[in-house]
Structure 1
Amino acid sequence: MPIKPSIAVIDDDEAIRDATVGLLRSVGFIAKAFPSAEDFLNSNRIRITTCLIADVKMTGMSGLELYGRLAALGAPIPTILITAYPDDQTRARALNAGVTGYLTKPFSERELLDCIDLAFGHEVLYAPLKQ
């Protein structure tokens, strides 16, 4: 039996965290929410996390800084950045650094799931969304 991917959702907006985790769980992923990058780094979930979904702008460390910190430690995790304040320069920096996806809030469920597929490098098996 394959191991289910474990996805960490890191966003200082509780409503976004809860909605994203709810979506991920509804299609069969293991999902855990964190209110900050620091909380994620201090957790015991880094080794088992197979994908990150992180807000670009948060109090403290940004999602892009978190990705850079993990990459510097030799433990880069496929990362999807989400933002309510898109800017082309940050998007280019993120994608050039190796981030898998950069989504502007509000994004569709399909956009997020497509980015997760890309993060895993193949189509991930999850329950289909109800149309």
Structure 2
Amino acid sequence: MADRALIAVVDDDESVRESLPDLLREFGFAARTFASAEEFLASGYAGEARCLILDVALPGMSGRDLQHELRRRQQTVPIIFITAHGDEALRPRMLEQGAVECLFKPFNDTALLGAIQAALQDK
């Protein structure tokens, strides 16, 4: 189990935090979930996570704020943004700012797995 890549999920939506870990485990990854950016930062898992699945719109510190804070701390973890807001202009901006992918909810399993595989290749 120790050799399975840890994927961290930060989303304020409880249904996402409950369903994504099961899917990630089916893909062969270890998973940890967090309800907020602040909870993730306080957990100490930022240095262990091989990939971060991060909601754009979070209460308090947003997903983009967390991305900037991780950079400030020089903690490089590939980020896959997820969002329920279907603004097509958002995706190119997120990619320009260093995200591996930006998926619109609901996304399919294949798209998520492809994004994770790309993230793990980048790291």
TM-score, with length taken from structure 1: 0.86
Secondary structure, in 3 states, of the residue corresponding to 1:106? coil
Q: Give 1:87's aligned amino acid.
A: D
Q: Give 2:31's aligned amino acid.
A: A
Q: 2:17 maps to which residue?
A: 17
Q: 2:45 maps to which residue?
A: 45
Runs of at least 4 residues off by over 3 Å = none
- Cα distance in structure 2, aligned partners of 1:88 and 1:76: 26
Q: 2:96 maps to which residue?
A: 96
Instruction: Give the unaligned 5+ runs of structure 2.
Output: none
Q: 1:129 maps to which residue?
A: none
The 1:89–1:7 alpha-carbon spacing in structure 2 relative to 1, beyond 3 Å, is same
Q: 1:108 maps to which residue?
A: 108
Instruction: Give the unaligned 5+ runs of structure 1.
Output: 123-131
Secondary structure, in 3 states, of the residue corresponding to 2:4? coil
Asked whether the 8 Å contact 2:27–2:113 carries over to 1, the reply is no
Q: 2:61 maps to which residue?
A: 61
CA deviations 1:32-53 (Å, max 9, x no partner) are 0000010000002111111000
Asked whether the 8 Å contact 2:4–2:29 carries over to 1, the reply is yes
Asked whether the 8 Å contact 1:67–1:77 carries over to 2, the reply is no
Secondary structure, in 3 states, of the residue corresponding to 1:70? helix
Once the two structures are TM-superposed, the CA of residue 86 in structure 1 deviates from its matched residue by 2.6
Alignment pair present for 1:85 and 2:85: yes
Q: 2:73 maps to which residue?
A: 73
Secondary structure, in 3 states, of the residue corresponding to 2:43? coil
- Cα distance in structure 2, aligned partners of 1:26 and 1:94: 27
TM-score, with length taken from structure 2: 0.92
Secondary structure, in 3 states, of the residue corresponding to 1:121? helix
- Cα distance in structure 2, aligned partners of 1:9 and 1:42: 14
Aligned residues: 122
Larger gyration radius, structure 1 or structure 2:
1
